[in-house]
Structure 1
Amino acid sequence: MGKNAARLFWPWLQVTVVSRRDVRREVEAVGAVFADRKDRALKAADFVFLAVPVDIIQKWTARINRYTRSDCVIMDCCTARVAAEEALKNIQRKRFGIPEIRRGTIPVIGNPDERIARYLGKWGCKLQPMTAEEYDRSNTDAGIAHFLGMALDLYLDDAQRNRLKTAKSGAFLLQLIEHLKGNSPTTYRETQVLNAYMSEARKGLIKVLENTDKELDKGIFRFRAYPREQWRE
């Protein structure tokens, strides 16, 4: 998400990246500047975009409160919103969360800064206000797909994966796994572990799988396909 934010904002703002990792090449590739001195970068910032795990936020709180100007606006992109709001509660600046950055309708938690909202609108984003609880509940849909991908990654051996690569039916199982590799594991950890609603969602899916398995063992088959004219040849 940090790279996406840098690419998005650099045509409009001077983007300075603060990281404990040496990401100079990655930063320069998206048109940003790598900050050697974190505190100096915070003092100069009009906006701070926190692209860090939820459990790291509190380590930044005191530094943000101490070094940023009183009118500095704080944004974050944490996935588990209820947990994020708890971690962010001691930041003494105007703040809001945008857990997704893409064209189209995207959720915003809190009151967005008008300048950021206008810029995102020009880029093709429509902000949809949501509470942290609403977002976490809605994000269980994507979380179920992540859960299936992680389970398949543990279940499928190399021989099964090789067969699926050339199979007309079933190759989508590999796509579930490959999709997960395009993002940080931290994102999926937050969705599965820190989102309180995911446990219920996972157990609901598992219950359906178990019940379906029992019915199939008894010869009961409930699947309903599309109308015949929509079947693949």
Structure 2
Amino acid sequence: MSMKHSPNRKLPKKGVLTNRTTYNSLGKVLVSEMFLSNMTLKNAYEYDQFGNSIKMIAYIEPNQVTEILGWEYDENGHQLRTKYYNPDRAVKRINKNAGKKEGNVKIVYNSKGEITSKSESLYGSITNTHIERLLDPKGNLQYENKYILNDNSFVKEWRVIDNIQNKKFIVKYTYDSANNEIESIKTDFNNSLIEKTISNYDENNLEIEKITESLNPSKMEFKYEYY
């Protein structure tokens, strides 16, 4: 049994609507929808007068509720707890927490009201990029994942900046006409090779061979059989 490289998401081809998001006048998400081949998944949000998220209802259209979340805040807007409800609106559990969102940044506080971490998630529909960042309390970058997608919504380049372990690398992916990943090349930010992997497939698009070359060990080869 073969194991596919991550990240690699197979999505509908370009031109097919897969996601839709509706915002209110303050730029807050009201409804987010994901269109699958056999169903539509939808999340609907509610906010208080200060713009804090107070409720999210997840359901499968038209009216099958799958989950309900509720949030409570203190007078300073710090998130105190999250309530999880069953589809029948009965509370199933309560988690205490302290967090707040400012735009695309999620801020987490400790019990003293001090910031412990920040995280950020950005998506650029025009540039076809998705970025996830972890920041320290002062806003300094700790870790960043950046994905650049091709026209078929496959990751063609993955960039990592890890300031915690002092690592930086880039992985570039190549696909065949059937969207199978046939090559991945991992380099540092100076374009020096770290690792190269080539994959071969049979007529059923099943991976049958993978060859990886790197500094240590120098070369590894895997063959796959299916029964």
TM-score, with structure 1 as normaliser: 0.25
- The answer to which structure has the higher strand fraction is 2
**TM-score, structure 2 as length reference:** 0.25
